[in-house]
Structure 1
């Protein structure tokens, strides 16, 4: 009797360990598949102290020549008096390939932008338009603090904590803007994530840990104290725009997905 129980427990333990190993191997495979599609998004400024400036993260989609990122990453007006243009960094390390890029679509309401380059890179696979369930395990790959640490893609793991309205509650009603009030009337649902992200991760692909399909675009981090403290004391709460809004923006531009 005791021997039977012992072997049953031993068998269960072996199955548990095997499942952990399979999971780890699965994560490695999925991350390796996504990393070639993750790019840096930045600005070339001929008169800047640093001519090639990394502003955030993006990812390749469509037929390989389109880049998705956040609108706020590329929203800075270019100075017509000097040579400035948007650029995309592909690869990693100190010698990435750099491509000139143009903005072909903007959606400020959903904090999305699409850039186009003349070359073709490895695209991701976009998930469908159905929102994923709370508790789904997800991965995030991008360039946290990339302007300082450089082009070394880092991956973080977490879960979808909730699908929540795209509005951060204000301390009091006096701080509610007209735009925020309109969102309260007709809220767009976005993903709230139990995952750590940092400045530089804006525009990073959020993808399903089981199959690598991109389900969203990271666009903001909840700050507990001050912006200066976000590196020292990250909240672990981040938000991502569901991929259905990128699909709509791409379809409106006739981009083949």
Structure 2
């Protein structure tokens, strides 16, 4: 093959990639603008403590007065008297908080629902589309908590694998308590994403860049403990819980 023909083929391949990939993200700025108002912080508040507020993770509005997040983000109990579970949201240049009540937990899939009165935020739609390996999605949340202020950040990642939440170990010494619990059940599938998320991203929605429909919920902590217990250093691998489990939790109410 001549160098000239090789160059032509290479150019055409680049054009095909650009034509195929770019349209999928052409609407991303508008989608992010639509999604961000539904993103809230999840944490605790106590006017007698210093600092008064603690941001623990991310949540997003799923229906009127309902917010979804990871179960591990929300404390099982509040040990300090006067503390309450709250959601944080940014309104203009000011940060506001509202009291929230945990109305449902799904510990198996690490999901929780919080009820907030007079939320007045537009909910995100839950997708019914089939998620496939190789597809690219966005996720928005608070990757490093409130260090940089209550400003949600958006990242993107490809579905690199759809894999069981737990994998067998080579021997008993490699098994953790979390792995044993999951292996005793029928391990459900999780999405492995090649984008980096941090503990503050737990509870962030993973959504379609064109529609904003949510396909999964970021889970940075518990799934990683189950699958990657042998890793001592953070990896660039992120996991997400398929939205079908969140839909089931909402429908059970």
Aligned to 1:144: 143
1:148-197, Cα deviation, whole Å (9 max, x unpaired): 22211111111111111112665742343566335335111111111111
The separation in 2 between residues aligned to 1:37 and 1:180, in whole angstroms, is 34
Deviation at 1:71, TM superposition (A): 0.6
Higher mean alpha-carbon deviation, 240-249 vs 209-218, is at 209-218
Q: 1:115 is matched with which residue?
A: 114
Does residue 62 of structure 1 match 2:63? Answer: yes
Residues in 2 aligned to 1:33 and 1:22: alpha-carbon distance in whole angstroms: 18
Give the aligned partner of residue 240 of structure 1.
Answer: 240
Counterpart contact for 2:25–2:210, Cα < 8 Å? no
Contact 1:93–1:150 at 8 Å: present in 2 too? no
Secondary structure (helix, strand or coil) at the match of 1:109 reads coil
CA contact (8 A) 1:127 1:243 kept: yes
1:41 match: 42
Q: CA deviation at 1:54?
A: 0.7
Q: Residues 1-257 of structure 1 correspond to what in structure 2 (within 5 A)?
A: 22-63=23-64, 65-79=65-79, 82-91=81-90, 95-119=94-118, 120-128=120-128, 131-167=130-166, 172-177=171-176, 180-184=179-183, 186-220=186-220, 222=224, 226=232, 230=234, 235-253=235-253
Deviation digits for residues 88-141 of structure 1, max 9, x if unmatched? 11226762221110001011111111001111211101112x541111111010
- The two structures have a TM-score, normalised by structure 2, of 0.82
Q: Contact (CA 8 Å) 1:146, 1:152: kept in 2 or not?
A: no
More divergent stretch after superposition (21-30 vs 107-116): 21-30
Give, in whole Å, the separation in 1 of the partners of 2:251 and 2:53.
Answer: 31
Structure 1 counterpart SS, 2:215: strand
Distance 2:85 2:141 in 1: 18
Q: Aligned partners of 1:170 and 1:50: how far apart in 2? A: 42
SS in 1 for 2:200: coil
Structure 2 gaps of 5+ residues are: none
Q: Distance in 2 between matches of 1:90 and 1:31?
A: 16
Instruction: Give the conservation status (yes or no) of the 8 Å contact 2:159–2:192.
Output: yes
CA contact (8 A) 1:47 1:82 kept: no
C-alpha RMSD over aligned residues = 3.0
SS at match of 1:106: strand
How many residue pairs get matched?
240
Q: 2:168 touches 2:183 (CA, 8 Å); kept in 1?
A: no
Unaligned residue ranges in structure 1 (runs of 5+): none
Structure 1 residues 172 and 94, CA gap change in structure 2 (3 angstroms): farther
Does the C-alpha gap of structure 1 residues 160 and 211 become closer, same or farther in structure 2, counting only changes over 3 Å? same
Shift of 1:199: 2.1
Cα offset for 1:34? Answer: 0.8
| 1:12-39 deviation per Cα after TM superposition (whole angstroms, max 9, x unaligned) | 9888767666444311121111111111
